Amino acid sequence: MKRLTLLRHAKSDWLDRSLRDFDRPLNARGLKGAKAMGYYAAEKKMVFDAVVASPAVRVTETIDHFETAYGQTLHPDWDRRIYLASSVTLIDVLRGVNDSANHVLMVGHNPGLEDLVFDLVPDDGSSPLRDVVEEKFPTAALAIMDLSIDSWAKLDNRTAKLIEVTRPRDLDPELGPQDDD
């Protein structure tokens, strides 16, 4: 059994239109959301054996602020393939994770992360949380899945059970939807 936690990058800043998409930083709300999720992970005593992440600025800043609140350094493997990747590409990245890692944190972008949930979790009514992700997988949201595999190389569609979805607004109503969402 393996566990996969997905963390979508926190809310990014669109003020400087001269920046490439890859270089966009977090805005103030994003900083607060990333920290809220880090505190939550610490409170729940989540332990990650491996972290794979997009090297985009908004992801690196999400991890920095998550780590501050989490109280531990994550030492991510930065993988450019995760930047704006499809679910298929994300599965390929995960298949390359060392089998000594039982709990992997993947930090990246939508729509790829959301689509990964849809591909890994069967749409057979066995996971009511899938509907939460279908409604919206907002910035800084966490999705935790248990995978019925013993090797990351065996990761495939419909091998996961979605056990938790936590959005920033679940932890702090001020981090809920606003006009700019």
Kindly state the tokens that stand for 71: 């109280």
Kindly state the tokens that stand for 101: 């890692």
pLDDT at 180 (0 to 100)? 45
What are the structural domain ranges in the chain?
2-10+21-171
Q: Is residue 111 reached through a cis peptide bond, with omega within 30 degrees of 0 on the bond before it? A: yes
pLDDT tens digit string along 128-171?
Answer: 899 999 999 999 999 999 999 999 999 999 999 999 999 999 99
Q: Element (H or E) spanning 67, and its range?
A: helix 57-70
Q: Which parts of the chain sit beneath pLDDT 70?
A: 178-181
pLDDT at 80 (0 to 100)? 98
d(CA 92, CA 101): 16
pLDDT at 181 (0 to 100)? 42
Kindly state the tokens that stand for 59: 């992801």
Which CATH fold topology does 2-10+21-171 show?
Rossmann fold (3.40.50)
pLDDT at 126 (0 to 100)? 80
φ/ψ (deg, to 5) at 110: -95, 155
pLDDT at 175 (0 to 100)? 84
Kindly state the tokens that stand for 179: 């006009």
pLDDT at 15 (0 to 100)? 82
